[in-house]
Amino acid sequence: MSDLGYDAAHMLGAVVLLMSFALLYQRRLFSLLNVFTMQALALTATAAWQAYSHGEPHLYITALLTLVLKAILIPVALHRIVVKMKIHRTIEPALGIGLTMVAGVSLVTLSILLVLPVTADATALTRENLALSLSVVLLGLLMMISRRNAVSQVVGFMSIENGLILAAVGVAGMPLVVEMSVAFSVMVAFIIFGIFLFHIRERFDTLDMQKIESFRGESD
Amino acid sequence: MGLVVSAIAFLFAMAAAGIAAKRLPQASTVVYGGTAAACALIALWAAVRLAGGGPDASLVLPVGLPWIEAHLRADSLSAVFLIVVNLGGITASLFGWGYERAHHDSHGGPVLPLYPLFLAGMNMVLIAADAFTFLLSWEFMSLASWLLVLSTHRESETPRAARLYIVMASFGTACLLLAFGVLATAHGDYSFAAIRAHAPGAGAAALVVVLILLGAGSKAGLVPLHVWLPLAHPAAPSHVSALMSGVMTKVAVYAMIRVLFDLLGEPEWWWGGVTMGFGALTAVMGVLYALMQDDVKRLLAYSTVENIGAIVIALGLALVFKAAHTPVIAALALAAALLHVVNHSLFKSLLFFAAGAVLTATGSRDLNRLGGLIHRMPTTAVLALVGAAAISALPPLNGFVGEWLLFQAILNAPALPDWSLKIEIAVVGAALALATALAGACFVRLYGIAFLGRPRSRAAGEAVEVGRAMRLGMAVPAVLCVVLGVLPTPLIRLFEPALRLLVEAGPFDGRAYQPWFWLAPTSAIGNSYNGLIMLVVIALLSVVLVLGIHRKASDRVRWSIPWGCGFDGPDSAAVTQYTASSFGQPIRRAFGSTVFRARDHVDMPAPGDTRPARLSVTWTDPAWVAVVEPVSRGVAWLADRANRLQYMTIRRYLTLMFLALVVLLVMVAVSQR
């Protein structure tokens, strides 16, 4: 493997992680969607670069799927939902930037500490890639629990999927069918989320989870 | 071994036949007959093995979890208990066949399919040779007996008894599970052979001893874990009560012996000290409880608690002597334990059968509604008298031999090096003597109130003798009680292989001359017992006494007072007789006022008032107050806290999952260093 291939792959993976950090403190839904789009684009570039540098043409399909689904279709659809529901002006409380950064950096540290000793005999690129993607997954989880709006929780879920795909493209020899199925499960999840969002909205007139929770009869 | 396994498989087939009972009119005959035959086969096999010696039979069946096979093995200890279990199975089947016909209850739960399963479960526990098979069989036995208890679910007390039983049974199994887990930790192999080969360290062994005493003790009925026993045992149909009380508690004793003597290796002295202390507490408390009961079957269940106490005392003594390297005395104590196991299974089955016969004839278990049954049910009365005399340890019956042997072991305590143990054994011996004497009082009360005097209710006055099968079911253990009392030595000889396996000595070691009719164990005191002489002397004295009374007293003119305390002449009301409560009152006053906080309340009407005076007795069970209630309060509190988890928001759930994930990852990262 050439040095350039390693450095470029490393950098693209780092961009995906950087976008995860950026997702954490976006307060407006539109900017959230924009950052998510940029993460998907970075992921597409990673997949394409891996396909090029390793000479594995099936990764181009992954890249194409990511581009179409994650970078175009889902952001556009979510955008339309936000507009249609007239919640684009919502300012949503997220964690403060300082706190977010502390939590995020500690999660990244954790994943590096975890992955590097476990995969001592793998190639350097695989190890770095696994550490990066585990960080993206953990940050996505952190986002899901720190947000109250259903749309941003969906975005958090999607960024977890991005982390998984990052891991899939980084590990040499992952069969195409795995990536395909991940992509399609994301698609299905997105459709279900969309339907649910509309139903929730219709029924409760809000997408704020804190308000919805008060409708549950059993809580005191 | 193949024979035993096929007999157990046959029991399962009988269970299948029991399911079809609704269609086949003769199903009960088939099931009870087949069960008795299978039990007889296993008992015979075990007896032949014990008498003939030879290597242990073992078998590995490729069933169970894929990588763990079922190891089965019947050594001499298993064989002794196989005899006990299956002898009980035979008589219970005989009695149960008659009982089922007399008590046909179309609304009750099924007994026929479960009864063979219960016996199969107990047999499987005895031949299991790995922890997995053992626990599986143990739980199978518990669940089968639990369902049998539930078969009387129409009675008001049964649901509560069954619930308490299932909780305690699960607790016991959990303790055993942990105990075997600790035993197998070092090498990860769950077969008994591997556990035996790797003795655990001192700390692990201590933990195992405590867990076994809790786990098997809760099944056997050690105070204070006995609370379920007097509720659950009487709730089942009488022949099942006999099996639960007479036999299933012995399976728990087997578990204790198997782990404490066999699997754990060389014992430490304190194991025996603790075991003995619990045994003494159990013996005394059990008989005190029994003395305060008016329900016949519950009284018998509490008496089981007392007898388990005596057996556990013997086990504790054997452990102490084994640890002190006096194996001959340890063999003596262990022989006493095994003998008492056999004896108790016989006379407790007999007494439960008698209680079942009385229940069949009168429809009542309340002592204060019985009386005068000796005239209406002469055979049952004679057989019950044998059982009551045997359990009260009267010579020349088997109960006496068991207690005598146990006291021989206790009297050898001065040979021990440790002073604290010497003193403890003296105290335990005194407690056992007290328990034995109180047991005598308890069974005089039971027999006197139920069978003597005048009937206290119309049902008791109109009772008729039970059928032939039930009488035969009682006669077999009664005859065995007499035979074993007169000639105990051949049976103890039969125990010798098991004793050599467990304590590496026999009770007769070092004695040159050992006739089969003479029981003279090796000990520092040198006492001996001869049942034949005892029998002859007692028979002669009885003849002299009867002749004396009839010759000298019967033909005299007798004078009596016209006012016999309101009870004189054939027309007086039977309720004026001495009752079970009156009989128990002195002992309740002496012991119960402190232990049970028993109080008598007399409600005396003022002069001129015509309402009747009332005497009411209240007492509290210290085991409930001290153990059960705090534990159940704690569980309720925890459940209340855990219940909140049910009503959290989805974000909280996600947060919990996220935190759990992070904590796990941190643990992995730390452990990688």
Q: Which residues of B touch A118 (CB under 8 A)?
A: 668, 672
- For the CA atoms of B173, B178, B183, B184, what is the dihedral angle to 10 degrees? 100
Nearest Cα neighbor of A42 from A139, A166, A128 is A166
Dihedral sign for Cα B27, B30, B32, B34, please. Answer: negative
pLDDT of residue B330: 92
Comparing alpha-carbon positions, the chain B residue that sits nearest to A139 is B658
CB contact under 8 A, B665 and A220: no
Test A220 with B673 for CB contact under 8 angstroms. Answer: no
**How far apart are alpha carbons B369 and A159 in whole angstroms?**
79
pLDDT of residue B671: 80
- Pick the closest to residue B164 from B247, B230, B251, B115 (CA basis): B230
CA distances from B257 to B78, B217, B590 (A): 10, 12, 36
Structural domain that includes position A95: 3-214
Q: How far is CA B372 from CA B450, B458, B611, in A?
A: 7, 11, 30
In a domain, A219, yes or no: no
Cβ atoms within 10 Å, residue A104: 22
Tokens of B64: 């169970």
- What is the SS3 assignment for B409? helix
Task: Report the Cα B639 to chain-centroid distance in Å.
Answer: 33
What percent of chain A has a predicted confidence (pLDDT) above 90?
A: 10
In a domain? residue A20: yes
- Could you tell me which of B150, B143, B161 has the C-alpha nearest to residue B110? B150
Pull the structure tokens for residue B432.
């056992």
- Three-class DSSP category at B618: strand
Q: How many CB pairs under 8 A join A and B?
A: 42
Q: Do B655 and A148 make contact, defined as CB atoms within 8 angstroms?
A: no
Residue B293 phi, psi (nearest 5): -90, 145
Confidence of residue B106 (pLDDT cuts 50, 70, 90): low
| Residue B59 bridge partners (DSSP) | B72
Does pLDDT of B119 surpass 80?
Answer: yes
Q: What are phi and psi of A208, to 5 degrees?
A: -80, 115
Nearest residue to B481 via CA among B297, B340, B298, B337: B340
pLDDT digits (tens, 9 = 90+) for B639-673: 999 888 877 777 788 888 889 999 998 888 888 76
The more confidently predicted of residues B557 and A17 is A17
Residue B258 banded pLDDT, cuts 50, 70, 90: very high
**% chain B with pLDDT above 70:** 95
Distance, in Å, from the CA atom of B157 to the CA atom of B379, rounded to the nearest integer, reads: 31
For residues B426-457, one letter each, b for 16 or more C-beta atoms within 10 angstroms of the residue's C-beta and e for the rest, the string is: eebbebbebbbebbbbbbebbbbbbbbbbbbb
Q: Which DSSP category does B228 fall into? A: T
Task: Judge whether A217 is closer than 8 Å to chain B, CB to CB.
Answer: no
Q: What is the 3-state secondary structure (H, E, C) of B540-565?
A: HHHHHHHHHHHHHHCCCCCCCCCCCC
B560-585: pLDDT as tens digits? 666 666 566 555 667 777 888 888 88
pTM for the predicted model, two decimal places: 0.80
Instruction: Determine, for residues A114 and B672 on separate chains, whether the beta-carbon distance falls below 8 Å.
Output: yes
Mean pLDDT for A46-50 is: 87
Interacting residues of B250 by C-beta distance below 8 A, sequence separation 6+: B81, B84, B85, B341, B344, B345
**Which of B658, B664, B666 is the best mutation test for A, with the most CBs of A within 10 A?**
B658
Q: Is residue A17 part of a domain?
A: yes
| Residue B464 half-sphere exposure toward CB, CA atoms < 13 A | 3
Phi, psi of B225 (to 5 degrees): -95, 15
Q: CA B119 to CA B85: how far, in whole Å?
A: 8
* Residue A163 belongs to some domain of the structure: yes
Q: Is residue A16 part of a domain?
A: yes
Residue B550 CB coordination number (10 Å): 10
- How many independent structural domains does chain A possess? 1
The secondary structure of B97-163 as a DSSP string is HHHHHHT--TTSPP-TTHHHHHHHHHHHHHHB-BHHHHHHHHHHHHHHHHHHHHTTTTSTTHHHHHH
Residue A118 sits at the chain B interface (C-beta within 8 Å): yes
Can you tell me the distance from the alpha carbon of B72 to that of B68, in angstroms, rounded to the nearest whole number?
Answer: 12
Is there a domain that residue A220 lies in? no
Cα gap B84→B250, rounded to integer Å? 8
ipTM above threshold 0.95? no
Is B661 within 8 Å of A144 when comparing Cβ atoms? no
The dihedral built from the CA positions of residue B108, B110, B112 and B118, taken in this order, carries a sign that is negative
Q: Is B325 exposed, middle or buried (0-12, 13-18, 19+ CB in 10 A)?
A: exposed
Give the number of C-alpha atoms closer than 13 A to the C-alpha of residue B145, restricted to the C-beta side. 34
Query: With contacts defined as CB-CB under 8 Å, which chain A residues touch B673?
Result: 117
Please state, in angstroms and rounded to a whole number, the distance separating the CA atoms of residues B396 and B532.
8
For residue A161, is pLDDT > 50? yes
Tell me how far CA of residue B468 lies from CA of B32, B234, B382, B667, in angstroms.
15, 23, 15, 70
CB B399 within 8 Å of CB B439? no
A122 in any annotated domain: yes
pLDDT over threshold 50, residue A220: no
